[in-house]
Chain A
Amino acid sequence: MDGHVSESSTAREKPGETEERLRKKTKQPRERNYGATEPALVTTSQPEAPQPPRRERNNTESIDEEEEKEILKYGAKHVIKLFVPVTLCMLVVVMTINSVSFYTVKDVYLIYTPFHETSSDTSDKIWNAIGNSMILLVVIIVMTFLLIFLYKKRCYNIIHGWLILSSSMLLFLFSYLYMEEVLRAYNIPMDYPTALFIMWNFGVVGMMAIHWKAPLRLQQAYLIFVSALMALVFVKYLPEFTTWMILAVISIWDLVAVLSPKGPLRILVETAQERNEQIFPALIYSSTILYSMGMATDENPRRSVDNVDESAGFSNDWSNQSRQRTQQRQIEVQANDQNRPTQYRTVTRSSDGLTDAQRQQQQIEEEERGIKLGLGDFIFYSVLVGKASSYGDWNTTIACFVAILIGLCLTLLLLAVTRKALPALPISITFGLFFCFTTSIIVKPFTETLAAEQHYQDVQQLTSFSNDWSNQSRQRTQQRQIEVQANDQNRPTQYRTVTRSSDGLTDAQRQQQQIEEEERGIKLGLGDFIFYSVLVGKASSYGDWNTTIACFVAILIGLCLTLLLLAVTRKALPALPISITFGLFFCFTTSIIVKPFTETLAAEQVFI
Chain B
Amino acid sequence: MDINRVSNEKKLNLCTWYFRAGFAFLPFVWVINVIWFFDSAVRKPPFEEQNAIRKYVILSAIGSFIWIIIIATWVSLFQANRIAWGSWADDLSFIIPLGSK
A289 at the A/B interface (Cβ < 8 Å)? yes
A213 lies within 8 A of B71 (CB): no
B67 to chain A, nearest CB (A): 10
Choose among B14, B29, B82, B95 the residue that contacts A205 (Cβ–Cβ < 8 A): B29
A200 lies within 8 A of B93 (CB): no
A-B contact count (CB 8 A): 75
Contacts of B96 in A (CB 8 A): 189
Give A494 to B2 CA distance when docked, in angstroms: 32
Choose among B27, B35, B78, B95 the residue that contacts A188 (Cβ–Cβ < 8 A): B95
* Chain A, 187-233, CB within 8 A of any chain B CB: 187-195, 197, 200-202, 204-205, 208, 213-216, 218
* Chain A, 153-195, CB within 8 A of any chain B CB: 180, 183-184, 187-195
Identify the B interface with A (CB < 8 A): 1-3, 5, 14, 21, 24-29, 32, 35-36, 71, 74-75, 78-79, 82, 89, 92-98, 101
- Chain A interfacial residues counted at CB < 8 A: 28
A291 at the A/B interface (Cβ < 8 Å)? yes
Contacts of B5 in A (CB 8 A): 289, 291
A278 to chain B, nearest CB (A): 15
Q: Contacts A194-B74, A291-B5 given: A189-B25 contact, CB under 8 Å?
A: no
Contacts of B26 in A (CB 8 A): 200-201, 204-205
B27 lies within 8 A of A214 (CB): no
Selected A-B contacts with CB under 8 Å, 7 pairs: A189-B79, A189-B95, A193-B92, A194-B71, A194-B94, A213-B1, A215-B35
Contacts of A192 in B (CB 8 A): 92-94
- Tell me whether chain B's interface is mostly helix, strand or loop, or mixed: helix
Q: Contacts A187-B98, A190-B93 given: A213-B32 contact, CB under 8 Å?
A: no
Q: Contacts A194-B74, A213-B1, A216-B1 given: A202-B28 contact, CB under 8 Å?
A: yes
Choose among B3, B21, B32, B93 the residue that contacts A191 (Cβ–Cβ < 8 A): B93
B35 to chain A, nearest CB (A): 8
A205 lies within 8 A of B32 (CB): yes
Give A194 to B73 CA distance when docked, in angstroms: 11
Contacts of A189 in B (CB 8 A): 79, 82, 93, 95-97
Choose among B28, B32, B78, B94 the residue that contacts A215 (Cβ–Cβ < 8 A): B32
With both beta carbons as reference points, the residue of chain B lying nearest to A192 in the complex is identified as: B94
Contacts of A187 in B (CB 8 A): 97-98
Choose among B2, B14, B94 the residue that contacts A216 (Cβ–Cβ < 8 A): B2
B78 lies within 8 A of A214 (CB): no
With both beta carbons as reference points, the residue of chain A lying nearest to B89 in the complex is identified as: A191
Contacts of A204 in B (CB 8 A): 21, 24, 26, 28-29
Give A191 to B88 CA distance when docked, in angstroms: 11
B32 lies within 8 A of A218 (CB): yes
A190 lies within 8 A of B29 (CB): no
Give A183 to B95 CA distance when docked, in angstroms: 7
Contacts of B1 in A (CB 8 A): 213-216, 289-290
